[in-house]
Chain A
Amino acid sequence: MSDQTPGAPTTVSRVPRESAAGEEAYLEVTDLQVQFPTADGLVRAVQGLSYSVPLRRTLAIVGESGSGKSVSSMAVLGLHDRRVARITGSIKVGGREIVNMSDKDLEGFRGGDAAMIFQDPQSSLHPYFTVGDQIMESYRAHNNVSKRAAKERAIDMLNRVGIPNPKRRVDQYPHEFSGGMRQRAMIAMALVNDPKLLIADEPTTALDVTVQAQILDLIADLQRDFGSAVVFITHDLGVVAEIADDILVMYAGTAVEHGPVNKILGEPLHPYAWGLLESIPALTGEPQPLHPIPGSPPSLLAVPSGCPFHPRCEFKDRVPDDWCTTLRPELVPRTADQGRTSRCHLKEPDKVFATEVLPRLP
């Protein structure tokens, strides 16, 4: 399985790879809309989202709660109840269209070529079935093998994700595992069918910091071995720096900035991304007051007109003709660098960042 990346670095720390341009996308999302009609009105959870991820690369989707990051990735596995969610646009995984796929085809697709790791392993594993049982079920759903062979595979996977004594652990229940071990078991379950696409929805949020690092290492390791495309959803910029090749910043259901990780973290072009960087507390030097982004994320029932970020944006006065409140910006390259895009009207955002925002950063 590890033959796909000969000469790959053996350490986990990120060696930034070149831009994704030219590589064939395994996951391709185009103009995705996810809406939920409710008694209070239409919730526009995702609006016109487009991105792509090739094999062997990791895209981090970053944003606040309610920015649409989880909703959009659940749509990739077809996990939304179609009686409640209205989904349009296109999601292609390995060339197959997911949006209008029949329930029968979805069952074959989910957990096979694409698998998902969820946020809280405590609630995401079934409390009444053993860990081994749950991994075996996943394996047998896609492979016509005996129970005994499936159990061998489950033990193998538990061993692979670093669970000691897997032969004994396989027959234990999730509550007999620690938080970190549970998430490892969850990862083993997701990877049991060698998926080419792995979606990790805040897989480290419920874990304590030391365990977080181990889980991140594990996911990066396994990605290298399996050669899969990974979508990593998080609100933790520290995690992003650790694991991602590319970043997609989401706000109010849309992408506001997209590009390679070092560019976005080093020189972001969108005022929302600036706010995110500023809000990271400094861990060195004199204690400084925290700098949260003023205001709160908008209700998805009534997304602000124009640029959805304008009510919280301190730079909107720099844009002429009230564009920020009336005209929705496009997600386009804003500087000479064509490999990154941003959704903002501000002129020469790179200069604004360098002269005004950078000095303020901790």
Chain B
Amino acid sequence: MLLYILKRVLSAISVVIVTLVASFALFFFAPTDPAGVICGPRCTPERVADIEASLGLDQPKAEQILLYMKGIVVGREYSTGGVVRECAAPCLGYSYTLGQPVTKLIGAALPVTVSIVLGGAVVYLLVGVLAGTIAAQVRGTSLDRFVVGTTLVVQAIPYFVFALLIALYATFLPDSGYHPITENPFLWASGLLAAWLTVGVTNAASYTRYSRASMIEALGQDFVRTATSKGISRRRVVYRHGLRAGLTPVVTIFGIDLAFQLTGAIFTESIFNLPGLGQLALRAFGQYDLPVLMGGVLIGSVLLVVMNLVVDIVYTFLDPRVRLG
């Protein structure tokens, strides 16, 4: 098990490095002009050259990549206008427009996104799995059709329309805004409620459908018939024997979904004014703030490989037949 995890971590690191180099190449070879952006519209060529030198943009590209990676591992120094600034590891560079270390920006935005996504996940997992399980049990009845129909309607509404509807009409909800959980857990929860509802309800539709399909298959298995033949209650048959088997495929989807969602819930964050990763990336895009974009890509690839690994490890606990090695 430990050896397996070690092997997976090593391969994960190589995936992240490949992503890093690829995105670095994509952004920095692109015909962008970071120094010009930083300097503004009325700028002398000398000033541009000066900024390029301070950012290291005058160095060969290969050296820039190595410097960037070295910054991540041991940190690096930047000098702007004669002032040397220390950027501690893991250094992802300085934001061109905000003048702050990217690590610090991401560090501030990540808890917001994590709060939104995890809170929303609690909602959609509870609602989705329960609704899906109930629909699977009454498969073919009008209740089942109602549940499936509702999921179709919810899925047909574009995500941002749904978020706007909640923002505009669910006025009974407390005001949105981010307050760190460490300062005031109650304020933290109330400020995120609208976002959780949006993420929860929209995703609950697809999770209802996954769970329903998975439970229909599970409930048709021979071992469920065996469980019934033992004389235990129907509820125990469904929720112990059926759900245990039916939930396993849902966990896989959930792991991957979670990784994607954690890279930033752009609509949710924008509409409910929550300064998460999505907002950070969105602004960086508009302003050619390459170090911030690079940081975002890096976080995304790390999350994806980590979540894949977590899903595989969780699987060994869910299914005793799966042995890692």
Contact = CB atoms under 8 A, between A and B. Distances in A.
B321 A137 contact: no
A309 interface: no
Given A79-B225, A123-B221, A175-B320, A128 B230 contact: no
Interface in A147-191: 173, 175, 186, 189
Identify which of B228, B234, B321 gathers the most chain A CB atoms within 10 Å of its CB.
B228
Contact of A118 (B222, B233, B241): B222
13 contacts: A103-B234, A107-B232, A107-B234, A111-B229, A124-B225, A125-B226, A127-B223, A127-B245, A128-B244, A129-B244, A138-B231, A175-B321, A189-B226
Contact of B222 (A110, A120, A138, A142): A120
B258 interface: no
Contact of B241 (A106, A115, A126): A126
B176 to A, nearest CB: 41
A139 to B, nearest CB: 9
A103 B227 CA distance: 15
A116 interface: yes
A141 interface: yes
A203 B318 CA distance: 29
A109 interface: yes
A262 B1 CA distance: 59
Contact of B230 (A110, A123, A175): A110
Contact of A109 (B231, B234, B318): B231
B226 A124 contact: yes
B223 A123 contact: yes
Given A120-B222, A123-B222, A110 B245 contact: no
B319 interface: yes
Contacts of B318: 128
A108 B225 CA distance: 16
A166 to B, nearest CB: 19
Given A127-B319, A128-B244, A175-B321, A110 B226 contact: no
Contacts of A260: none
Interface residues on B, range: 20 to 34
A77 B225 CA distance: 11
A126 B245 contact: yes
Contacts of B222: 118, 120, 123-124
Interface in A81-120: 103, 106-112, 115-116, 118, 120
A173 B320 contact: yes
Contacts, number: 73
Contacts of A125: 223, 226
* Top-4 shortest CB links A-B: A111-B231, A110-B231, A111-B230, A123-B222
B321 A126 contact: no
A108 B229 CA distance: 10
Given A127-B321, A173-B321, A79 B244 contact: no
A76 to B, nearest CB: 11
B82 to A, nearest CB: 66
A141 B245 contact: no
A108 B234 CA distance: 12
A355 to B, nearest CB: 46
Identify which of A77, A128, A142, A186 gathers the most chain B CB atoms within 10 Å of its CB.
A128
Interface string B44-69: 00000000000000000000000000
Identify which of B226, B232, B318, B320 gathers the most chain A CB atoms within 10 Å of its CB.
B226
Contacts of A186: 226
A77 B229 contact: yes
B229 A79 contact: yes
Contacts of A173: 320-321
Nearest to A119: B222
Nearest to B224: A126
B226 A126 contact: yes
B225 A118 contact: yes
Given A120-B222, A123-B222, A142 B320 contact: no
A297 B55 CA distance: 83
Given A118-B226, A128-B244, A175-B320, 10 more contacts: A77-B229, A79-B229, A108-B231, A109-B231, A110-B229, A115-B229, A118-B229, A126-B227, A126-B244, A127-B223
Interface string B226-255: 111111111000000100110000000000
Interface string B138-173: 000000000000000000000000000000000000
A104 to B, nearest CB: 9
Interface string A193-217: 0000000000000000000000000
A34 to B, nearest CB: 16
Contact of B320 (A108, A112, A128, A189): A128
Contacts of A106: 231
Interface in B124-139: none
B226 to A, nearest CB: 5
A103 B232 CA distance: 11
A103 B233 CA distance: 9
Contacts of B319: 127-128
